[in-house]
Amino acid sequence: MSLYGMMRTGVSGMNAQAARLGTVADNIANANTTGYKRSSTEFSSLVLPSGGGSYNSGGVSTSVRYAIAEKGNLQFTTSTTDLAIDGGGFFVVEDTAGTAFLTRAGSFIPDSEGNLVNAAGYKLMGYDFANGNPTPVVNGFDGLVPVNVLQGELVAVPSTNGIFTANLQSGAPVVTGTLPSANAAGSEYTAKSSLVVYDNLGEEVLLDFYYTKTAANTWEVSVFDQSGATAGTSFPYASGPLTTTTLTFDPTNGQLAAASPTGATFTVPDGQSLTIDFAKMTQLASDFSVGDATVNGNAPSKVTSVEIRGDGTVFAKYENGTLSPRFRIAMADVQSPDRLDPISGNVFSQNSESGVVTTGFAGSGSFGSIKSGALEASNVDIAGELTSMIESQRSFTANSKVFQTGSDLMDVLVNLKR
């Protein structure tokens, strides 16, 4: 083997151990960084062709790997906007230029505009409930907006959907007189209930629901604006019913028949289009009773706090105690997380080796659940890193001895001429 090759191999070994010490230094420095993923240096041999009794020394090549798929321990905090993922997947965050990245670092706090940002300044992204129940764009980041939890503003939310569940007495007699849908004095009905909804300005609107048995297993449901009722008698109202629906029931089980409507849609006075779900209505041998009567919307109220569920839904909690869904946090994953490119700020970007990003919601498919009031610690093992540091130090010293020996022998060869 040539002395030059010996020295070159020693330099190769020192470079390899220097790279390993660099990853160890990064890991130790970030041992307390939320969501940090440790890096490691892997070695592979470089062999040069040899023959005829001579040996050409090669060297060692290094490659840096990141344990991105390896999860850290969960540490619980007192902030509801601190988020951790219990399982697979990443949060989707965005920088100031609008570029999307993946991260497991969930130390989010509201900025001056109410957007949730982590310690590196990346905004948490999700889907808005403004256009109804959100659905993810599976193969991209389209439709994502910053999750905003601005508090203190006065908000009124008009009612747009609700659920009304009740039992209608199967043995009630058929009404043969004037039905409520006629809106005439003396209208007859079987049962009545009322429901509070909200208009565009958050004003309460009281609606009267009339249930009238018109034939065996057949019921008319008429809805009126109570503000237009005749004092003392209700009928006639100032205007006709907001909606009239005919429900039919299956006499074998008391449930709605397959051909029966399962809801009604009408416009709230000075409000929005409201859909009431009647799907769980029953007709059984029991008195009229209301089981579930809920409707969304709220009167003008300040947002006092936020609540984040395990499925990633972000609720605004108002002074009056009501909860309103605002956003649903997006989750993302790739086929090979350890191949993602690490970027400053504890975020990762996709590349051809990591695979295509797929998005979804927490708790679905391979995505874990979201823990509010928790953070994922780094996956660095300090004891293991100190051990690696000692090993690298000794290996570096040994390689330096090889280089030093080659240098000494080179001096001997040079001095042969003297």
**DSSP string for 259-292:** TS--EEEEEPTTS-EEEEE-TT-EEESS--EEEE
DSSP one-letter string for 360-371 = E-TTSTTB-EEE
In a 10 Å sphere around its CB, with 0-12 CB exposed, 13-18 middle and 19+ buried, how is residue 348 labelled? buried
Distance CA 189, CA 338 (A): 68
Cα 393 off chain centre by: 44
Average pLDDT score over residue span 194-216? 95
Please, which pLDDT band fits residue 301 given cuts at 50, 70 and 90? Answer: confident
Please, which pLDDT band fits residue 24 given cuts at 50, 70 and 90? Answer: very high
Domain borders along the chain are: 3-67+379-415, 74-156+301-376, 159-296
Task: Flag whether pLDDT at 1 surpasses 60.
Answer: no
Say whether the peptide bond before residue 236 is cis (omega within 30 degrees of 0).
Answer: yes
Query: Residue 37 has what DSSP assignment?
Result: -
In contact, 102 and 108? CB cutoff 8 Å: no
Cα 82 off chain centre by: 13
Task: Flag whether pLDDT at 150 surpasses 90.
Answer: no
Tokens of residue 268, six digits: 């709230």
In contact, 100 and 53? CB cutoff 8 Å: no
Which residue in 59, 13, 21, 26 sits closest to 41, CA to CA?
A: 21
Which residue in 103, 105, 162, 144 sits closest to 342, CA to CA?
A: 103
Please give the pLDDT value at position 175: 96
Domain 159-296 sits in CATH 2.60.98.20: yes
Average pLDDT score over residue span 390-394? 92
Q: What is the pLDDT of residues 345-389, one digit of tens each?
A: 899 999 989 988 999 999 888 899 999 999 999 999 999 999 999
Contacts of 279 (CB under 8 A, 6+ apart): 256, 262, 263
Q: What percent of the chain has pLDDT over 90?
A: 66
Distance CA 284, CA 405 (A): 98
Which residue in 289, 232, 279, 283 sits closest to 258, CA to CA?
A: 279
Other beta carbons within 10 Å of 5: 17
Contacts of 261 (CB under 8 A, 6+ apart): 245, 246, 247, 278
Please give the pLDDT value at position 155: 79
Q: How distant, in Å, are the alpha carbons of 2, 205, 410 from that of 415?
A: 17, 105, 9
In a 10 Å sphere around its CB, with 0-12 CB exposed, 13-18 middle and 19+ buried, how is residue 187 labelled? buried
Report CA dihedral (155, 156, 158, 163) to the nearest 10 degrees: 80
Task: Flag whether pLDDT at 43 surpasses 90.
Answer: no
Please, which pLDDT band fits residue 272 given cuts at 50, 70 and 90? Answer: very high
Amino acid identity of residue 176, one-letter, is T
Residue 220, phi-psi category: left (phi > 0), alpha (psi -120 to 50), beta (remainder): beta
In a 10 Å sphere around its CB, with 0-12 CB exposed, 13-18 middle and 19+ buried, how is residue 366 labelled? exposed
Q: What is the pLDDT of residues 318-354, one digit of tens each?
A: 887 778 888 999 999 999 999 999 999 899 999 989 9
Distance CA 150, CA 157 (A): 15
Tell me the backbone φ, ψ of residue 68, rounded to 5 degrees.
-70, -35
Distance CA 3, CA 51 (A): 17
Amino acid identity of residue 412, one-letter, is V
Q: How distant, in Å, are the alpha carbons of 86, 98, 353 from that of 362?
A: 9, 23, 25
